Amino acid sequence: MMANQEPFVPPPSLLLALSEAHRAAAEIVLLGVSRRTLKKIAPRGDGHAVMVLPGFMGGDGYNSTFRRFLSGLDYAVHGWGMGRNLGPRDGVLEALERKLLDLVERYEGPVSLVGHSLGGIFAREMARVYPEKVRQVISLGSPFGEGRMTASIPARLFTALNPPDELPIDQDLLSHAPPVPTTAIYSKYDGIVNWRTTYQQKGHARTQSIEVRSSHCGMTFNPAVWLLVAECLANDPESWRPFERGSWRSLVYPAVQ
Largest Cα–Cα separation, the chain: 49
Q: Which domain holds residue 96?
A: 14-237+248-252
- The reported pLDDT for the residue numbered 1 is 39
- The reported pLDDT for the residue numbered 2 is 40
Contact (CB, 8 A) for 79 and 60: yes
In a domain, 118, yes or no: yes
Contact (CB, 8 A) for 54 and 65: no
Q: Looking at the 3D structure of the chain, how many domains does it have? A: 1
- The reported pLDDT for the residue numbered 3 is 43
In a domain, 117, yes or no: yes
Rounded to 5 degrees, what are φ and ψ at 155? -60, -40
User: pTM of the entire structure?
Assistant: 0.93
DSSP label of 183: E
Q: Give residue 101's identity as a one-letter amino acid code.
A: L
- With 0-12 / 13-18 / 19 or more C-beta atoms within 10 angstroms meaning exposed / middle / buried, residue 98 is exposed
pLDDT at 107 over 80: yes
Residues whose CB is less than 8 angstroms from the CB of residue 80 and which lie 6 or more positions away in sequence, other chains included? 51, 52, 53, 54, 60, 96, 99, 119
In a domain, 7, yes or no: no
Give pLDDT tens digits for 207-246: 999 999 999 999 999 999 999 999 999 999 889 999 988 7
In a domain, 49, yes or no: yes
Distance of alpha carbon 2 from alpha carbon 16, whole angstroms: 24
SS3 74: coil
- What's the CATH number where 69 sits? 3.40.50.1820
Better pLDDT: 42 or 150:
42
Q: Where are the beta strands (DSSP E) in the chain?
A: 49-53, 76-78, 111-116, 134-140, 182-186, 207-211
**If you average pLDDT over residues 65-79, what whole number do you get?**
98
In a domain, 175, yes or no: yes
Give pLDDT tens digits for 111-123: 999 999 999 999 9
- The reported pLDDT for the residue numbered 159 is 74
* Strand order from edge to edge, sheet including 134-140: 76-78, 49-53, 111-116, 134-140, 182-186, 207-211
In a domain, 148, yes or no: yes
In a domain, 163, yes or no: yes
Averaged confidence pLDDT in the chain: 91
In a domain, 9, yes or no: no
